[in-house]
Amino acid sequence: MVKKVISFAFILLFVATGCNHFTKENVQQNATDTGKITVATFLTNAPDWINKVIVIEGTVSHTCKHGGKRMFLVDGNDSVSVEITTGPDIVKFDDALVGSRVRISGLLKEERIDEKYLSEWENEIKKPQENHEVGVHTGAKGHMDQTDQDKLDQIASYRQDLKAAGKDHLSFFSVEAEKIEELK
Amino acid sequence: MLPRKLQRWNNAFHRDLGYLFFGMTIIYSLSGIILNHFKTGDLKHPDYSKSYWEFDVPVPSGRAVDKTYIDNVLTIADEKGHYKSHIFSDNSLQIYLTTGSITINLQSGSAFQEKKKPLYVIKEFNLLHYNNIKKLYTWYSDIYAVALILLALTGLFILRGKNGILGRGAWLTALGIIIPALFLLFYT
């Protein structure tokens, strides 16, 4: 009896791990075209859709290996890369999605980077322990392996961009995914 | 020391918590080893084993990349049937495969391949360890964390005598506190 109970528990655990398809559970078969933005026009159109639901399609170029909380969409080439983050109902973006064509429905969000933010980020980098949540995620290849000096250079570059823009902030846009559909 | 009756309860509580959270302890410890080595850079990805290859492919004539060219690259890489999609960068072509990806420098013809294989079971254990699931699992994992504290505390009083907390146990417990403290002192 005891052997049967323990065996059952292990079988259940292995079945649960084998049947895990979290990234595909939140599929919406009939995504609406309302607020449809393309990757190529994302940066131009994003300011008009802040905090509104949009639909965007693209190829997944990269998923964050630290917990799969973000991924990046490109379309044809990597000149424009759109950051997608997990919404409350999406467990993670599995690395198996890389290279897949997906349709994302989600809330377009703006992150404003100003001098205060850059100073805090700079201070975080100078601390001994890395805080991956701080900083701007560009999805550039190898960005996860950036050295502290790379990050400091990136901050310096943003400071130059801020100066050139003549504004008190830079805007970075992302989409908080509510639904994800893998297109065939 | 605890009175005998209280100690019996203590031992029974420790035993039952140990049974109940055996599964969670295995999940967190196996995943913990993986995440530990991922954090130090020994592993490239916590959910996939990854390996890398370099080889050369012909440079496309006039840099025109078409289906024939990609098929040719996939044949050289022995990855026919694994194609998913491809994108272009300035001077490179990235071919995504179900088994990884190939990046080709279109000027030199040098190709860099990443092969990946899912770490089945560990991948799902990591999902629990990261608490990607959230919802009710947040509460359950909190309960497990509290249970670990209780297991540690009740574990101190399992034995009486020279091997108990007033004897050998005291030295080992002190050592277990001193070791992480030393890491903090010397490495931070």
Q: Domains in chain A, ordered, with CATH?
A: 22-183 (2.40.50.140)
Closest partner residue to A76 (CB to CB) among B45, B88, B125 is B88
Residue B5 backbone phi and psi in degrees, to 5: -65, -45
Please answer yes or no on whether A76 and B87 come within 8 Å at the CB atom.
yes
CB A76 within 8 A of CB A61: no
pLDDT of B109 over the 80 cut: yes
CA distance A168 to chain B (A): 32
Type and span of the H or E element at A22:
helix A22-25
- Is residue A16's pLDDT more than 70? no
Q: What is the pLDDT of residue A76?
A: 87
For residue B28, give both structure tokens: 């967190």
pLDDT above 70 covers a percentage of chain A that reads 72
- Each residue of A31-51: b (16+ CB within 10 Å) or e? beeeeebebbebeebbeebee
What tokens were used for A34? Answer: 């309302």
Taking only the tens place, the pLDDT of each residue in A38-58 is: 999 999 999 999 999 999 999
Please tell me whether residue B84 adopts helix, strand or coil conformation: strand
- For residue A117, the surrounding DSSP H or E stretch is helix A115-126
- The per-residue pLDDT for A29 is 41
Task: Please report where in the chains the tokens 């080439």 appear, as a residue.
Answer: A77
Q: Do A98 and B45 touch (CB under 8 A)?
A: no
Residues 6+ apart with CB under 8 A from A151: A121, A125, A135
ipTM: 0.78
Distance (Å, whole) CA B60 – CA A153? 35
Cβ atoms of residues A173 and A109 within 8 Å: yes
**pTM for this one?**
0.76
Chain B residues within 8 A of A96 when measuring between CB atoms: 98, 118
- Best probe of the A interface among B96, B101, B122, by most A CBs < 10 A, is B96
Asked whether the beta carbons of residue B127 and residue A22 sit closer than 8 angstroms, the reply is yes
Whether B26 contacts chain A with CB within 8 A: no
CA distance linking residue B126 with residue B46, whole number of Å: 8
The confidence score (pLDDT) of residue A132 equals: 53
The rounded distance, in Å, linking the Cα atoms of A184 and B20 is 43
Which regions of B66-109 does DSSP assign to beta strands (E)?
83-88, 92-97, 100-105
Least confident of A125-134, B123-132, B150-159: A125-134
| Residue B141, pLDDT above cutoff 50 | yes
